[in-house]
Each structure stands twice: as structure tokens, then as C-alpha cells.
């Protein structure tokens, strides 16, 4: 029993060290390519300095590490187990009567811990840093407009407003009305509306208060609007038409990306979206995928063991390792494909998030059973 525990700890340390090294190497490699792409985009932007581009790439690094963690566990595990097999350490242990199940518990626990830490600790850090990177990217490399935010049940929209100044800006705030409460002919409506009309230098030009604003093709129709000018005196109520390029789909697509929300913030944001009448499928899928990450990590650890513990004297080691890499990559692709189907609503969210991890775990278990028991 003591020997088995000692062997398990030894194999676990080797597995953890190789996995962390592989994760660092892959993350740095992907970050390098990301930096090159950002430099290419920044070539025509005089305000985008090398320091700014490097900052954006560095802010994306935890997100990159989260994305490649399962594949890093697979490659790190394959390398660790192959080295232990090549040095005959695992062969001697198995010849002494220790089954693979006797020492694989440690690496599986390490993989589950890595997945759990990634979900509960790295995810909040990754989301905050990615949100900062996206803001810098949008400000200096994309120069996009149409910023939206949803907090406290109120929707905030920013758009161009040439009505008072050619380069004017409008900021519209209100409470989205659920789809079930819309009147006939309405596609999108805000209640308790406040509109700020600003100059290009963000100098206030007017403030508008209204009970509701309906989004129609090419315009906001603001009923019973009261306008407060520079003298802060209210005008008589009237209908106000505000030109816009926004559509209900564009508003929904511009909400905070699920990747920029931490694991702990997703449930509340999902509730806010659904209370506002919007679809929260993408956010639910992200939340369930983060929950399934420890299981996917365990599946990758078992898969790496099943494809790398074959004795080199029996031949075909290269094909086995190549098969392990191919199987892990196929599982990674399946995870992304089911995620796309889940976002489109073709597959249930729970199935799309958990099926790849569950299938990988069952495949790895079957492979190890065949390897150990024939």
C-alpha cells in the first residue's frame, strides 16, 4: 500500500510538471501569433504603439490558457507517461502487480484540480483581463461604436446623433420590455427612457425624458418626450424621432460576451438577460462549459495514459501517440462543434456542454480497460 501511494505521488508530480510546462509553452506560442496579428492590424493605426499592442496580447494570455488547457493536459500527460514507460518505470510497476488504475488516480485528481482552479479562480481573472483587452482593441484598433451595457435591469446604448451636431453622440438608457409584454407591431421597446444628446467632445446639448421608446426600422420613436435644453427648462411633451442604425439583433449581439464574464458573475447576468426578454443561450452554454471543464480535464488525462503506456518493445508507439493526439484534437473539435449547435439552439445547452466531456471520459475509460484487461 505504501509503495502504491508513493508511486502515485511520483507519477502525479511528473504529470503535473509536464502539464504545466506544456500549458506555458502552448500559451506563449499562441500569444506570440496573437501579438503578430495585433501588430499587423496596428500598422495603420498611429495611436497603437508597440507597448499598447503588447499590453492587449498580455491581457489575453489567461483567456488563451483557459482555451488550450484541455489540450495541454493531453499533450503533457502523453509526454509524461511516455517518458515513464520508456524508462521502464511504469513497466516495472505493472510487472510487480500494480494495475494502471492503482497509480492513475493521482494524475486524474491533478487534472480535475487544474480544471476546477481554471473554472473558479482563473476564469474571473481571465474575464476581467479579456474585457480590458477588448475595450483597448475597440478603442485603438477597431474604432467601433454602438456600445451597450445591461446592468441593474437598465440597458445603455450609445450611437451617433447628427440631429443637433454633425458629429453628435446620443446615449439612451431604459428598461427593456420582455418580448411577451410587447404591443402588437413592436419589435423592441424601452420604458423609463432617458436620452442624453452630446457633442463630439461629449459636451451636453440636451436631455430627454420619456415614458417609452420604440425601435422601428431606422429610428427610435420616443413618445411624450420632455426635452431639457441648456437652460434646463422643460419643453412641452412631443413625439421625438431619433435616427439609428441599431436593430434588436444588433443590440443583443453587442451585449457583454460570455468570455468577458467570470464564472461567478454568469448566473446573475443570465437572470438579467432573461428578465429583459433576451436569449441567454450563449451565456448558459458558457456557464455549463465551465462546469464541465474538470470532467473534460479528467478525460484528457485518462486519454493521454491510454495512448502512451504501451511498451516500446511491442512497437507501434509512434502510432499510438499520434492516435492519442488525433483523438484529443477530435474531441476538442467536437466540443467546439457542439458548442456552435448549442448556441444556435439546435442542441440542448446541457447536452452541448457536457456531451464532449462525457464522451471523452467514456472513451478513455474503455481504452484503459482494454489495455489493462484485454
Q: Kindly report, residue by residue over 101-154, the tens digit of the pLDDT.
A: 777 888 999 999 999 999 999 999 999 899 889 888 877 787 544 445 665 667
The overall pTM is greater than 0.85? no
181 vs 315, which has greater pLDDT? 181
Share of the chain above pLDDT 90, in %: 36
**How far apart (Å, rounded) are the C-alpha atoms in residues 86 and 165?**
74
**Predicted pLDDT at 313:** 55
**How far apart (Å, rounded) are the C-alpha atoms in residues 350 and 341?**
12
With 70 as the cut, is the pLDDT of residue 97 above it? no
With 90 as the cut, is the pLDDT of residue 315 above it? no
**Which among 65, 67, 42, 61 has a CA at the least distance from the CA of 130?**
61
Q: Kindly report, residue by residue over 245-275, the tens digit of the pLDDT.
A: 888 777 766 666 788 888 998 888 888 777 6
Average pLDDT over residues 332-337: 85
Share of the chain above pLDDT 70, in %: 88
Least confident stretch, 63-72, 108-117, 302-311: 302-311
301 near 100, Cβ under 8 Å?
Answer: no
Average pLDDT over residues 9-29: 93
**Predicted pLDDT at 44:** 82
62 near 129, Cβ under 8 Å?
Answer: yes
Between the alpha carbon of residue 196 and those of residues 111, 280, 333, 352, the distances in Å are 51, 29, 46, 42
**Predicted pLDDT at 111:** 95
**Predicted pLDDT at 56:** 93
Q: Which residues of 267-287 are buried (b: 16+ CB within 10 A; e: fewer)?
A: eebbebbeebbbebbbbbbbb
46 vs 208, which has greater pLDDT? 208
Average pLDDT over residues 307-335: 73
**Predicted pLDDT at 4:** 73
Q: Which residue has the cell 485603438?
A: 140
With 60 as the cut, is the pLDDT of residue 8 above it? yes
Helix (H, G, I), strand (E, B) or coil at 184: coil
Q: Kindly report, residue by residue over 283-301, the tens digit of the pLDDT.
A: 899 999 999 999 999 999 9
Mean confidence (pLDDT) of the chain:
84
Average pLDDT over residues 152-165: 80
Please give the radius of gyration of the chain, using alpha carbons only, rounded to the nearest integer: 27
Amino acid at each position: 500500500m505504501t509503495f502504491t501511494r508513493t508511486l502515485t505521488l511520483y507519477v502525479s508530480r511528473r504529470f503535473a510538471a509536464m502539464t504545466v510546462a506544456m500549458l506555458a509553452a502552448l500559451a506563449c506560442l499562441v500569444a506570440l501569433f496573437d501579438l503578430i496579428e495585433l501588430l499587423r492590424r496596428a500598422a495603420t493605426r498611429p495611436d497603437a504603439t508597440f507597448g499598447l499592442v503588447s499590453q492587449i496580447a498580455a491581457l489575453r494570455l489567461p483567456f488563451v490558457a483557459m482555451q488550450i488547457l484541455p489540450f495541454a493536459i493531453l499533450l503533457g500527460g502523453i509526454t509524461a507517461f511516455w517518458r515513464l514507460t520508456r524508462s521502464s518505470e511504469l513497466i516495472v510497476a505493472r510487472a510487480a502487480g500494480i494495475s494502471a488504475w492503482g497509480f492513475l488516480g493521482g494524475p486524474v485528481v491533478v487534472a480535475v484540480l487544474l480544471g476546477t482552479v481554471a473554472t473558479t479562480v482563473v476564469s474571473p481573472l481571465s474575464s476581467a483581463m479579456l474585457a480590458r483587452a477588448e475595450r483597448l482593441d475597440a478603442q485603438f484598433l477597431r474604432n467601433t461604436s454602438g456600445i451597450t451595457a445591461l446592468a441593474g435591469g437598465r440597458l445603455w446604448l450609445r450611437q451617433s446623433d447628427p440631429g443637433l451636431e454633425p458629429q453628435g453622440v446620443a446615449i439612451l438608457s431604459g428598461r427593456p420590455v420582455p418580448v411577451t409584454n410587447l404591443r402588437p407591431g413592436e419589435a423592441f421597446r424601452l420604458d423609463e427612457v432617458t436620452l442624453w444628446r452630446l457633442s463630439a467632445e461629449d459636451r451636453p446639448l440636451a436631455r430627454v425624458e420619456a415614458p417609452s421608446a420604440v425601435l422601428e426600422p431606422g429610428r427610435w420613436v420616443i413618445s411624450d418626450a420632455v426635452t431639457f435644453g441648456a437652460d434646463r427648462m422643460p419643453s412641452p411633451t412631443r413625439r421625438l424621432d431619433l435616427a439609428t442604425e441599431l436593430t434588436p439583433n444588433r443590440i443583443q449581439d453587442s451585449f457583454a460576451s460570455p468570455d468577458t464574464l467570470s464564472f461567478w458573475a454568469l448566473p446573475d447576468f443570465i437572470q438579467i438577460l432573461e428578465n429583459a426578454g433576451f436569449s441567454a443561450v450563449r451565456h448558459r452554454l458558457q456557464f455549463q462549459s465551465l462546469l464541465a471543464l474538470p470532467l473534460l480535464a479528467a478525460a484528457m488525462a485518462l486519454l493521454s495514459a491510454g495512448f502512451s503506456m504501451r511498451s516500446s518493445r511491442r512497437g507501434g508507439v509512434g502510432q499510438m501517440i499520434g492516435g492519442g493526439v488525433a483523438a484529443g484534437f477530435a474531441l476538442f473539435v467536437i466540443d467546439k462543434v457542439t458548442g456552435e449547435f448549442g448556441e444556435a439552439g439546435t442542441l440542448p445547452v446541457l447536452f452541448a456542454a457536457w456531451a464532449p466531456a462525457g464522451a471523452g471520459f467514456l472513451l478513455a475509460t474503455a481504452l484503459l480497460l482494454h489495455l489493462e484487461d484485454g
